[in-house]
């Protein structure tokens, strides 16, 4: 995709959102069904994915860990965002690797130590790019990718969250 192709696709959307801000608000959904043992099957819209306990929490490693899925969502979003930003700025990126690493202390998850936080304490996102971009261009790419990556910004800013339970 070229910058003009991307602009041609996004331009009308941007104008629509300027003219009608409410049309830019989209509700994304995800759903799953409780499975056998300690598992949950997710409907990704493309295929079913079974999530279960990480081996450090007692799982056998045959099912997806939700923590891994969070990092995968971050990598996917950051990769798409970086590609779009590079295309928009006319920076050629021939390829690359995006990596997300996160540190979890399972003492919190398993209620071994109530002082240990539940969830990631540190997440590191890195890019290794095949490009001739100079240091300033790379800094701009990184800054704008961070700014416009939906998953990264969601993790960083903590959205309002509500939880409810019903019975069937």
Q: At what angle do helices 135-148 and 150-157 cross, to 10 degrees?
A: 70
Query: What pLDDT is attached to residue 5?
Result: 87
CATH homologous superfamily of 3-157: K homology (KH) domain (3.30.300.20)
Query: Over 90: is that where the pLDDT of 35 sits?
Result: no
Query: Over 80: is that where the pLDDT of 28 sits?
Result: no
Q: Burial, 70: exposed, middle or buried (Cβ in 10 Å; 0-12, 13-18, 19+)? A: middle
Query: Over 80: is that where the pLDDT of 76 sits?
Result: yes
Q: How confident is the model at residue 44 (pLDDT cuts 50, 70, 90)?
A: confident
pTM value surpassing 0.75: yes
Q: Which of these, 128, 118, 100, lies nearest to 54 by C-alpha position?
A: 118
Within 8 A by CB and 6+ apart from 167, the residues are none
**How do the domains of the chain map onto residue ranges?**
3-157
Q: How confident is the model at residue 22 (pLDDT cuts 50, 70, 90)?
A: confident
pLDDT digits (tens, 9 = 90+) for 142-161: 999 999 999 999 999 989 99
Q: Considering only CA atoms, give the Rg of the chain.
A: 19
Q: Tokens at residue 153, please?
A: 């910004």
Q: How confident is the model at residue 1 (pLDDT cuts 50, 70, 90)?
A: confident
Query: What pLDDT is attached to residue 130?
Result: 92
């Amino acid at each position: 995709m070229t910058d003009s192709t991307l602009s041609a696709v996004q331009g009308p959307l941007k104008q629509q959102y300027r003219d009608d801000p409410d049309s830019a608000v989209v509700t994304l959904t995800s759903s799953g069904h409780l499975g056998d043992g300690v598992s949950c099957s997710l409907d990704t819209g493309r295929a079913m994915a079974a999530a279960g306990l990480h081996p450090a929490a007692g799982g056998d490693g045959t099912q997806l860990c939700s923590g891994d899925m969070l990092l995968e969502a971050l990598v996917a979003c950051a990769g798409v965002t970086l590609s779009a930003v590079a295309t928009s700025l006319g920076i050629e990126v021939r390829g690359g690797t995006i990596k997300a690493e996160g540190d979890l202390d399972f003492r919190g998850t398993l209620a071994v130590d109530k002082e240990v936080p539940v969830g990631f304490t540190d997440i590191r996102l890195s890019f290794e790019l095949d490009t001739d971009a100079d240091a300033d261009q790379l800094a701009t790419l990184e800054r704008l990718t961070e700014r416009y990556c939906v998953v990264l910004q969601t993790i960083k800013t903590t959205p309002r969250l509500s939880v409810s339970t019903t019975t069937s």
